[in-house]
Structure formats: structure tokens, C-alpha cells
Structure 1
Amino acid sequence: MYRQTRVPRLRASLWLSVPDKADSLAEMGPGPSLIVPDGCMDLIVIEGQIVIAGADSLARTYSGSLAPTVGLRFDSGVLPQLLATSAAELADRVTPVEAVLRRARFGVQGTGRGGIRSEDGRIRGTDLDAAASVTGAARTLLGLAGDLTDRASLDPRPMALAGCLNVRSGSPGQTVAEAADQFAYSPRQLRRLSAEWFGYGPKHLAKILRWQAARELIVAGRTRTAAAAEVGYADAAHLRRDERSLIG
């Protein structure tokens, strides 16, 4: 089971993933799941520790967990600013949050909202029953994200660029060249800034966002041909090629 709740002030969505009954049997172990690229970065509580899931350039397999997992998925371009770091340094990897916070000279002790209370970034008191652990993990993530948001001054350019490249049904996003012209950047500047903001270049981000838009339409019941046409692919074969390049 997966569900998420939008948190507008944080420009993020709080999500909860609970293993299916079959996956929760100890003798079977957690089932593997495919994590697909979406242009976003997450803070996730794993085994009592907050980690940063950097932006994935390609799909990867996660072995799963027997316990519920709580995370906070930020809009494209937001989390690197809150952490005062480059998204490129975190792309395609999972990093303990305290390592980045210390490098950025942020304190990680006592967030004031039920957040981290230990110097190593581990959450204390989450070895209770599952419901209490989920509640505590969510409160900790929201508290940490709230404190980071309060002390940050967000540059609107990354979110604006992601919005330009994003695709909506019947309204294809701008090309990379059009976006560069709108922001008055050279192609080289745009590539450098995109890597810093999102973890990879603007062409790859645009590919991910368009594929995700098509995927949402297909899940909603559209045929692949109809979904491909609605988000600006030449045809369904073009959609399949992009899909293979991202998830194999």
C-alpha cells in the first residue's frame, strides 16, 4: 500500500509505503520494488535513520522492507537548496542526512518540532509499535524539513525551470533550447545549473518529466498511443524507446 499527502508549505509530499501482506511474512522476506526516476529527491526514514535519496537518473531495484517506510518527496530543485548542497553530489545514491548537514554547517540536534535528538542523526524512540514508529518518523521528517525551510531563502529559478520543462496533458513542455532562451542562459550554463539543481542535465530531466506524464495517463486508463500523443511523443514507439532508456 502506498499513499501520500501534499504539504504545500514545504513544497513536498509526505508518503507512506506499507508492504503487502504477502511481502510482510518473515519467511518470504520483503519483495523487491522498482524505483523509477521522477526528477525529485526524498528524505526517508530507514532503520531509524534519516537518509537522502538523491535524484535517480535511471531506475533501480530496492529490496524493500518488512516495516512501513515514511518519506518526504520534495518538488524538483527544492531539497538541494534546503541542504545547501549540489544535487549532482547526491544523484543516484543514498546518503545519511547528517553527513550533508554537517558539511553545510547546519546543526542536526533538537529541531524543536519533535525532530532529530541525537548527534548521529538517528531517531530515538522509534522502536515502539509500528503505528507509533510511523507517526514519530513523519513528525521528525516534517520537523526537520520545516526548520530547513525556515532558514532557507529559496531561489525560484530551479522550480521555474522544472515547470517549463514539465509536460501536462495536451500542453507539452518547452524544449531545452526554448527554456535556455527564456532564462537567458547559454546551453553550457543551463547544463551546469541543471546538474547543480536536479542532479543531471536539462535534456535528461525533460525526458524523465515527459515519461512520467505519459505514465500517469496510462495508469489512468489511456492507451499508450493516446498517452504518447497527449504529452508530445512522435508515436508510441518513441515513448517505448524513452521508457527502455530509463527503466530497461
Structure 2
Amino acid sequence: MYRETRIPYLHANLWVSVPDKADSLAEAADLDRRDLAFGPDAVHSPTSSLIVPDGCMDLIVIDSQILIAGADSTARRFHGSAAPTVGLRFDSGVLPQLLTTSARELADRVTPLDAVIGGRRADIGNGGQGRAASVTGASRVLLDTAGGLTDRAPMDPRPMALARALDVRSSSPAQTVTEAAAEFAYSPRQLRRLSAEWFGYGPKHLAKILRWQAARDLIDVGRSRTAAAAEVGYADAAHLRRDERSLIG
């Protein structure tokens, strides 16, 4: 079972993946009672999930440790445990700012938070120590930690604005990379460099991921692949399939 809720002040979604067994579901129900209004359920394997690229980065609690899941350029298989997993998925371009580091250095890998922020961890995360063993405890640790990072990092609106410009779900039709570069007054070379710093890869790859995600959203609510492909700007359904194969195999 998978559930998530929007946390607007963090520009993130809090998500919980719970194995399909009674004791974990009871713990998830306890989280619901604490007024976290989750959306519709989605079924995940209790031990293995396919993580598809979405242009985002996450903080995840596993075995009482906070990990950074860098932006994935292609799909990967995540082998979880029998315990619930809790994470914060940040909007594109947000988490690298909170960590004051380059998304390119974290792309396609999982890194302990302490390895990136060093001595700041004790100052930011003390309030959550000893509470990460439960779903509720892990959620509070993540929210407290992300809140502490947010308080210390000035937010640059440019990465989020660029992601919106390249995303057909936010800007219909989505801008091309050339159009986005012109709007932000960057040369193509500057835009590639900044995009790698902000998202972990270049603007063309980000646009490709965002368009495929937009088509996937439409297919998930019942549109045909042909209709979804046309609506988000693919030449045809075959074009959508080619992008899909290149991203998830």
C-alpha cells in the first residue's frame, strides 16, 4: 500500500509505502489519525518496487537512517524490507538547494544525509532522534529535518520555474529547451550547466522525463496511449513507446 500527502511549505510530498500485512497497516492507520490526509492507495510489492524517473529527489528513512535518493535518469529496482518505508519527495530543483549541493553529484545513487550535510545533522535533526522506528516517528523526523534545512537555505525560484516551463502539466504546451533558454536569458550551454546542478541532468532529459510522466498520468486515469501521446505533444504512440523504453527498459 502506498499513500502520500502534499506538504506545501516544504514543496514536497510525504509518502509512506507499507507492506501488505496487518501490523504495518495498523501503524499506517495511526499515521492517518494524526491528520495526514493521504490520497488514493496504490499497490506496491512489499519487497521490490520499480522506481521510475520523475525529475525529483527524496529524503527516505530506512533502518532509522535518513538517505538522499538522487534524481534517477532511468528506472531502477528498489529492494525494500518488510517494514514500512517513509519518504519526502521534493519538487524538481528544491532538495539540492536545501542541501546546498549539486544535484549532479547525487544523481542515480542513494547517499546518507550525514555524508552530505556533515555537522549540520546534529543541529537540524536532534528533535527526531529515537522516533524513527515507527511510521509516525519516521515521518516526524523527516518533516523536522526538512523544516530545519528549509529555515537555513534561501530558496532560488529559478529551478522550479524552469521545471514548470518544461512540464506540459504546468505549461501547456511545454516550452522547448530553446524557448526556455531564451525566456530565462541563458545560452544553451548555461542552461545545460545549471540544469545539471539543479536537477542532476540536462534540460532535454528533464523535459523527456516530464513529458513521459504527463502521458503516464493520463494513461493511469483511463486515456488510451494514442490519446495520451497526442495530448502531451508526442508525434504518435510509437514515439511515446520509444521514450518509455529508453527510460524504463
TM-score, scaled relative to structure 2: 0.87
Please state if 1:83 is matched with 2:99.
yes
Query: 3-state SS of the aligned residue for 1:76?
Result: coil
Q: Which has the higher helix share?
A: 2
Q: 1:35 aligns with which of 51, 55, 61?
A: 51
- Structure 2 CA distance for partners of 1:63 and 1:210, relative to 1, 3 Å: same
After TM superposition, list the pairs within 5 Å mapping 1:217-236 onto structure 2.
217-236=218-237
CA deviations over 1:40-63 (Å, ceiling 9, x no partner):
000000111000000000000111
Report the more deviating stretch, 163-172 or 57-66: 163-172
Task: After the TM superposition, list the runs of 4 or more consecutive aligned residues in structure 1 that deviate by more than 6 angstroms.
Answer: none
Whether contact under 8 Å (1:170, 1:231) holds in the other structure is no
Query: 3-state SS of the aligned residue for 2:124?
Result: coil
Which residue in the other structure is 1:71 paired with? 87
Which residue in the other structure is 1:138 paired with? 139
Which residue in the other structure is 2:205 paired with? 204
State the alpha-carbon separation in 2 of the partners of residues 125 and 202 from structure 1. 39
- Structure 2 CA distance for partners of 1:95 and 1:224, relative to 1, 3 Å: same
Which residue in the other structure is 2:9 paired with? 9
Q: Provide the alpha-carbon RMSD of the alignment.
A: 1.9
State the alpha-carbon separation in 2 of the partners of residues 94 and 50 from structure 1. 10
User: Number of matched residues?
Assistant: 228
State the alpha-carbon separation in 1 of the partners of residues 78 and 234 from structure 2. 29
- Structure 2 CA distance for partners of 1:64 and 1:135, relative to 1, 3 Å: same
Residue type at the aligned position of 1:142: L
Q: Which runs of 5+ in 1 are unaligned?
A: 118-123, 128-132
Deviation of 1:112 (Å): 7.0
State the alpha-carbon separation in 1 of the partners of residues 131 and 170 from structure 2. 45
Please state if 1:174 is matched with 2:190.
no
Deviation of 1:21 (Å): 4.2
Deviation of 1:109 (Å): 1.3
Please state if 1:62 is matched with 2:78.
yes
Query: 3-state SS of the aligned residue for 2:93?
Result: coil
Q: 1:114 aligns with which of 127, 146, 150?
A: 127
Whether contact under 8 Å (1:82, 1:152) holds in the other structure is yes
Q: Which runs of 5+ in 2 are unaligned?
A: 25-44
CA deviations over 1:206-236 (Å, ceiling 9, x no partner):
0000000000000000000000011000100
After TM superposition, list the pairs within 5 Å mapping 1:92-131 onto structure 2.
92-102=108-118, 107-111=120-124, 114-115=127-128, 117=129, 124-127=130-133
Residue type at the aligned position of 2:246: S
State the alpha-carbon separation in 1 of the partners of residues 12 and 181 from structure 2. 26
State the alpha-carbon separation in 2 of the partners of residues 165 and 230 from structure 1. 15
State the alpha-carbon separation in 2 of the partners of residues 170 and 54 from structure 1. 25
State the alpha-carbon separation in 2 of the partners of residues 110 and 16 from structure 1. 26
Whether contact under 8 Å (2:124, 2:149) holds in the other structure is no
Query: 3-state SS of the aligned residue for 2:80?
Result: coil
Residue type at the aligned position of 2:114: E
TM-score, scaled relative to structure 1: 0.88
Whether contact under 8 Å (1:14, 1:73) holds in the other structure is yes
State the alpha-carbon separation in 1 of the partners of residues 123 and 156 from structure 2. 27
Q: 1:44 aligns with which of 60, 84, 106?
A: 60
Which residue in the other structure is 1:19 paired with? 19
CA deviations over 1:148-167 (Å, ceiling 9, x no partner):
11111111110000010001
Residue type at the aligned position of 2:164: G
State the alpha-carbon separation in 2 of the partners of residues 230 and 147 from structure 1. 40
- Structure 2 CA distance for partners of 1:190 and 1:100, relative to 1, 3 Å: same
Please state if 1:184 is matched with 2:197.
no
